[in-house]
Amino acid sequence: MTSRYNKTIDQPYLILTILLLGIGFVIQYSASSAIAAARFNDPGFYMRGHLIRIITGIIIGTFFLRVNYQRLKSIAFWIALLGIILLAISLIYHKFSNAHSTARWMPVGPFNAQPSEFAKFATIIYLSSFLDRHQKELHDFKNGFLPPAVVMFITVILVIIEPDFSTGAVIAILGITLLIVGGTKLLHLSYLLGLITVTSVIAIIRSPYKLNRILTLFSPEKDLQGASYQIHQSLISLGNGGFWGRGLADSVEKNLFLPDPHTDFVFSVAGEELGFIGITILLILFLLIFIRGIQISLKAPDIFGNLLGIGVSTSMFLYVIINIGVVCGIFPVTGLPLPFFSYGGSSMIYNLACTGIILNISKQPQLKEQPFYWS
């Protein structure tokens, strides 16, 4: 199988990233201005914070762009272990401290970080490395399946306990996807899938607010001023946009009608201001960057690069699908941000770190033909 060396990064992927960052910055300012003015008497408060997060993410993304991604393979287990330790520390800290936030947030100096974002990143790296190094043992339950299954299950359980059921579900979906693509025996996967399903059902039943969110999805009209309020206002916002939109900065719902217009429901503001045609273009951009990321990943010179690229590309696109599904009332409210648009440092840093990895893969020796190692 022949390969060629790319001395430059993939330009289409970089351009798509810059476009989404730019559009996201404009929409973020519009979506956050009213709530920032109400809370801090400063319409640009969240905009400046968003810009700082973008710059921080670019610095970290540049690091992953410049350091050969293959170096991550040798330390993948320790990265996964660090992710589990950080999750455990966050749980312990919130149990024995007077912190008012949930364990999904952990103070790092003057900032709050989400250990689950790092744990998600660490799980993708570890699974990609394990599947690369154990290709000949993947059909063996003890040596080829049990180690990654245990690491993934522990990570998912700790994230759910935080509680952050949505991120835990995403990590589980990503892990199972990588195990399938990497060649793991489907019978073995069924055991893990069954265990995660049972755990998820128990977690939902034991948490009334999670169960209420799911039930509300099927009868949203029953509690428009309570559990259904966010979705109701989101749909009003999208409906206000019509085909062409109301125009930038002209959203009505962002004026303290729509909860979290700068975080979970920023896409609702985009829909109101840009209209159907505008959000269709956004969806196309997100789809194009996902497809391009997969194309780059499939031409990586090794299995680790294939799986790592597929993992980070899929993780970002999953958030797009879930966030937009929530905004449109298809999925229950999850709290997952929209990549490059939502206000949040951990998410922005994660997405730009993933971007750096994809661009790093793109400048390595590229296979001319799709490898299909896992066939």
- Whether the pLDDT of residue 3 is over 60: the answer is no
Could you tell me if residue 375 is inside a domain?
no
Token digits for 308? 């790592």
Could you tell me if residue 373 is inside a domain?
no
SS3 assignment, position 368 = coil
* pLDDT attached to residue 375: 42
Could you tell me if residue 163 is inside a domain?
yes
Which pLDDT tens digit goes with each residue over 148-172? 999 999 999 999 888 888 899 999 9
Q: How many CB atoms lie within 10 A of CB 223?
A: 14
Reported as a pLDDT band with limits 50, 70 and 90, residue 193 is: confident
Could you tell me if residue 374 is inside a domain?
no
From residue 196, give the alpha-carbon distance in Å to each of 19, 47, 149, 336: 37, 39, 11, 20
Helix (H) or strand (E) holding 191: helix 186-205
Please check whether residue 246 is in contact with residue 263, taking contact to mean a CB–CB distance below 8 angstroms: no
359 closest CA partner among 3, 2, 7: 7
* pLDDT attached to residue 240: 92
pLDDT > 90 fraction of the chain, expressed in percent and rounded: 61
Which pLDDT tens digit goes with each residue over 350-360? 999 999 999 99
Domain that holds residue 297: 3-367
Which pLDDT tens digit goes with each residue over 231-279? 888 889 999 999 999 999 899 999 888 888 999 999 999 999 999 999 9
Please check whether residue 149 is in contact with residue 96, taking contact to mean a CB–CB distance below 8 angstroms: no
Q: Counting beta carbons within 10 angstroms of the beta carbon of residue 165, is it exposed (0 to 12), middle (13 to 18) or buried (19 or more)?
A: buried
Could you tell me if residue 28 is inside a domain?
yes
Please enumerate, as own/partner, the contacts of 11-18 that have beta carbons within 8 Å and a separation of 24 or more. Answer: 12/292, 13/289, 13/292, 13/293, 13/296, 13/355, 13/358, 13/359, 13/362, 14/359, 16/285, 16/288, 16/289, 16/292, 17/289, 17/340, 17/355
Average pLDDT of the chain, as a whole number: 88
Please check whether residue 272 is in contact with residue 248, taking contact to mean a CB–CB distance below 8 angstroms: no
- Whether the pLDDT of residue 112 is over 50: the answer is yes
In total, how many domains does the chain have?
Answer: 1
Could you tell me if residue 18 is inside a domain?
yes
Which pLDDT tens digit goes with each residue over 33-66? 999 999 999 999 999 999 999 999 999 999 999 9
pTM of the model: 0.91
Distance CA 256, CA 192 (A): 43
Reported as a pLDDT band with limits 50, 70 and 90, residue 78 is: very high
SS3 assignment, position 157 = helix
Could you tell me if residue 80 is inside a domain?
yes
More confident: 20 or 194: 20
Could you tell me if residue 209 is inside a domain?
yes
- Whether the pLDDT of residue 100 is over 60: the answer is no
- Token pair 């409210």 is found at 333
SS3 assignment, position 29 = helix
